[in-house]
Amino acid sequence: MTDTSRSIPKALDVLEILAQAEDGLPLSTVAEMAGYPISTVHRLLASLSRRGYVEQDTQTRRYYLGLKILTLQAQGIRSRHLGRLAFPHLNHLKLQVNETVNLGVLSRTDVVYLETFAPDSSFSFYAPPGTRMPPHCTAMGKLLLAHLPAKTQEDLLSSLVLKSFTPYTITSLPDLRAELVQIVQQGYAVDNQEYAIGVRCLAAPIHDHTNTVVAGVSVTVLAEQLPDERMKPMAVLLVQACLDISHALGYQGNA
pTM of the model: 0.70
Residues 204 and 116 in one domain: yes
Among 105-109, 131-135, 215-219, 224-228, name the most confident range.
215-219
Q: Which of 254, 122, 142 is nearest to 192 (CA)?
A: 142
Residues 9 and 124 in one domain: no
Q: At what angle do helices 27-34 and 38-50 cross, to 10 degrees?
A: 110
Q: Which residues contact 62 (CB under 8 A, 6 or more apart)?
A: 23, 24, 25, 26, 56
- Residues 72, 157, 202, CA angle at the centre, nearest 5°? 65
In this structure, are residues 137 and 191 in contact, taking their beta carbons and an 8 Å threshold? yes
pLDDT tens, position by position, 73-125: 555 554 456 767 888 999 999 999 999 999 998 887 889 888 888 887 645 67
pLDDT at 6: 74
Phi then psi for 122, rounded to 5 degrees?
Answer: -70, -25
Residues 60 and 147 in one domain: no
Residues 56 and 82 in one domain: no
Q: CATH number, domain at 33?
A: 1.10.10.10
The residue out of 11, 43, 65 marking a domain boundary is 65
Higher pLDDT pick, 122 / 65:
65
Q: What is the DSSP string of 40-56?
A: HHHHHHHHHHHTTSEEE
- Ordered alpha helix ranges (H), the chain: 3-19, 27-34, 38-50, 67-77, 81-97, 139-146, 150-159, 173-186, 228-248
| Helix, strand, or coil (residue 38) | helix
* Mean pLDDT computed over 222-240: 92
pLDDT at 24: 86
Residues 128 and 161 in one domain: yes
- Our count of domains for the chain comes to 2
pLDDT at 5: 59
Residue 253 lies in a domain: no
Question: Which of 98-107, 114-123, 145-154, 233-242 has the lowest average pLDDT?
Answer: 114-123
pLDDT at 1: 44
Residue 226 has a CB neighbour count (10 Å cut-off) of: 21
152 band by pLDDT with thresholds 50, 70 and 90: confident
Residues 48 and 132 in one domain: no
Expressed as residue numbers, the domain containing 206 is 75-248
- The pairing of beta strand 199-207 with beta strand 110-117: unpaired
pLDDT at 79: 41
Residue 70 lies in a domain: no
129 band by pLDDT with thresholds 50, 70 and 90: confident
pLDDT tens, position by position, 14-40: 999 988 876 789 999 999 999 999 999
Residues 79 and 61 in one domain: no
Q: What is the DSSP string of 138-181?
A: SHHHHHHHHTS-HHHHHHHHHH-----SSTT----HHHHHHHHH
Residues 105 and 227 in one domain: yes
* Mean pLDDT computed over 46-66: 88
pLDDT at 74: 52
Q: Hey, what amino acid is at 242? A: C
pLDDT at 144: 95
255 band by pLDDT with thresholds 50, 70 and 90: low
Calculate the CA dihedral of residues 84, 87, 88, 89 and round it to 10 degrees.
120
The residue out of 31, 46, 65 marking a domain boundary is 65
pLDDT tens, position by position, 166-208: 999 999 999 999 999 999 999 999 999 999 999 999 999 999 8
